[in-house]
Structure 1
Amino acid sequence: MTTQTFDDRVALVTGAGSGIGRAMAVAFAKAGSRVVVCDIHADSAASTAADIGDDLAVAVPADIADQDSVAGLVDAAVSAYGRIDVLCNNAGIMDTMALPADVTVEQWERVLRVNLTGTFLVAHAVLPHMLRQGGGAIINTASEAGIRGGAAGVAYTASKHGVVGLTRNIAWAYAKDGIRCNAILPGPTMTGMAATATFDEIGLTRLAPVLALGERIAQPEQMAEAALFLASDAASFVNGAIVPVDGGWSAA
């Protein structure tokens, strides 16, 4: 019988200062893992780590869009705990929901840099450690926008489609090395990310009929439980899966 316990394992969670990432960090700690709490905001990372407890967590502020910062993050994680068994690639930002003709190049590049390139950079830095230790699990946070054309603006949509492709390629490339890579696709979730964003009125109006289908709001802990399962031995033969966690929104 397989379980979802993580004794003697180490989980690195990005975007763990709030929302889904914070819930993931707490869930892995409760399951027995030691947790590297990463967030671009040092105070937020420290707060999550403090809530978990010094015996199970260490806070490492980092900007996943910057390669040097990511290298420092992974070095700090390995220095603290000696290994990385689970990577929750969760950090990301919203776009303004602007339509393609209205999005600025700067907005496009920033969203792609964080959501897609940042996800790649962290995986790129962690994979050599997983290869040396003989395995590991990566859970990427994609989005319903990763399988739809009208659930967000063009930049966010393209970035999350990219995360889906990245997930599948990593799963295929390293399946024989004991490394699994899966993605969750959250539907509407009670986090602070959308509350701090500024939205394009035209784009938001166009998207409103689709977004209304996802009016049931999830709690971050529901996303964390899905990630916990995908990282666990209970999901040992689940690899390359793109898992909607949306209360049935994608089934409509």
Structure 2
Amino acid sequence: METPFKNKVALITGGTSGIGKATAIAFAKKGAKVVVVDKNEDSEALSSIKKIAEKMLFIQCDVSNSTEVKLMIEKTIATFGRLDYAFNNAGIEGRVAITTDCSEENWDNTLNTNLKGIWLCMKYEIPEMLKHHKGVIINCASVAGLVGFYGSPAYVASKHGVIGLTKTAALEYAKEGIRINAVCPGVIDTPMIDRITKKDKEIEKQFAKMEPVGRFGSADEIANAVIWMCSDEASFVTGHPMVIDGGFVAQ
């Protein structure tokens, strides 16, 4: 049975790990042609996506580099001829340090990847979608885009910025057939959280207790939300930061 995603082209940055990988697989299962973008090539992850995807393209790209992002979109169009969906997910957690101890290097690296990177992606994605007067962009923010977190000034600032940028772009292209939203994951079981907890069971328990549901979320749960927001079932949803956090920000 043909799905609405069949023969459509979905681009996912940060696509070889965690939420990005899960979303690439979810798009592939829906029949979309998948463009997996990441700074680092992970042959095992790419192999698992390729087994499911009818057609898959991998592009190595640093989203904070405008030249590389431009080439990323050019390669996508040269290969598949169009761009229908984009999940701008690439991001880093940065280093833990309170505001006065946050280094300028950490600030720049975190903002350049998490915020500038999403702006650059949209800068080159939107013109391709305008050619068809249709498209959906989902930007990955975080619950850290809605509340503060001790010791993460750069990360929190970047994710607040993603939500503001998403709302602005959504307003600018609302009448052009392009919907632009964000997802705000809570504590999700991914390699990023493993780096933060160092897989220490006691620290993991503390993080799980932060969630009213009492557990980490899964990458698949975020991917499912991205798929829904890209579907026609969400045709009236734009400029929205969707919280998927097990009740974290409701506390």
Q: What TM-score comes out, normalization by structure 1 length?
A: 0.90
SS at match of 1:52: coil
1:131 CA drift (Å) = 0.7
- Against the structure 1 CA distance between its residues 171 and 151, is the aligned structure 2 distance closer, same or farther, given a 3 Å change threshold? farther
Checking the alignment, whether the CA contact within 8 Å between 1:66 and 1:118 is kept in structure 2 is: yes
SS at match of 2:11: strand
Q: Deviations over 1:110-130 (max 9, x none)?
A: 000000000110110111101
1:19 CA drift (Å) = 0.3
Counterpart of 2:210?
A: 213
Counterpart of 2:182?
A: 183
Identity across the alignment (%): 40
1:247 CA drift (Å) = 1.2
Checking the alignment, whether the CA contact within 8 Å between 1:94 and 1:194 is kept in structure 2 is: no
Corresponding letter in the other structure for 2:137: I
Q: Deviations over 1:48-75 (max 9, x none)?
A: 543334x321111111011111111111
Corresponding letter in the other structure for 1:42: E
Corresponding letter in the other structure for 1:119: I
Where in structure 1 are there 5+ consecutive unaligned residues?
200-204
- Superposed, 1:51-200 pairs within 5 Å as 51-53=51-53, 55-150=54-149, 153-196=152-195
Corresponding letter in the other structure for 2:89: N
1:251 CA drift (Å) = 1.0
Where in structure 2 are there 5+ consecutive unaligned residues?
none
- Against the structure 1 CA distance between its residues 220 and 99, is the aligned structure 2 distance closer, same or farther, given a 3 Å change threshold? same
Q: Deviations over 1:150-201 (max 9, x none)?
A: 26600000000000001000110000000000101000001101333599xx
Checking the alignment, whether the CA contact within 8 Å between 2:208 and 2:216 is kept in structure 1 is: no
Counterpart of 1:17?
A: 16
Q: What TM-score comes out, normalization by structure 2 length?
A: 0.90
1:47 CA drift (Å) = 3.4
Checking the alignment, whether the CA contact within 8 Å between 1:96 and 1:197 is kept in structure 2 is: no
Q: Deviations over 1:197-247 (max 9, x none)?
A: 599xxxxx9xx9898423520110000000000011000010111110011
In 1: Cα distance, 2:124 partner to 2:231 partner:
22
**CA-atom RMSD in angstroms:** 2.2
SS at match of 1:111: helix
In 1: Cα distance, 2:155 partner to 2:92 partner:
8
- Against the structure 1 CA distance between its residues 4 and 155, is the aligned structure 2 distance closer, same or farther, given a 3 Å change threshold? farther
- Superposed, 1:20-35 pairs within 5 Å as 20-35=19-34
In 2: Cα distance, 1:66 partner to 1:198 partner:
29
- Against the structure 1 CA distance between its residues 59 and 209, is the aligned structure 2 distance closer, same or farther, given a 3 Å change threshold? closer
1:21 CA drift (Å) = 0.2
Checking the alignment, whether the CA contact within 8 Å between 1:151 and 1:210 is kept in structure 2 is: no
Checking the alignment, whether the CA contact within 8 Å between 1:112 and 1:159 is kept in structure 2 is: yes
In 1: Cα distance, 2:196 partner to 2:167 partner:
29
Q: Which is further off, 212-221 or 138-147?
A: 212-221
In 2: Cα distance, 1:62 partner to 1:49 partner:
18
Aligned residue pairs, count: 242
- Against the structure 1 CA distance between its residues 48 and 64, is the aligned structure 2 distance closer, same or farther, given a 3 Å change threshold? farther
Counterpart of 1:5?
A: 4
In 2: Cα distance, 1:4 partner to 1:185 partner:
27
- Against the structure 1 CA distance between its residues 99 and 51, is the aligned structure 2 distance closer, same or farther, given a 3 Å change threshold? farther
Whether 1:36 aligns to 2:35 is yes
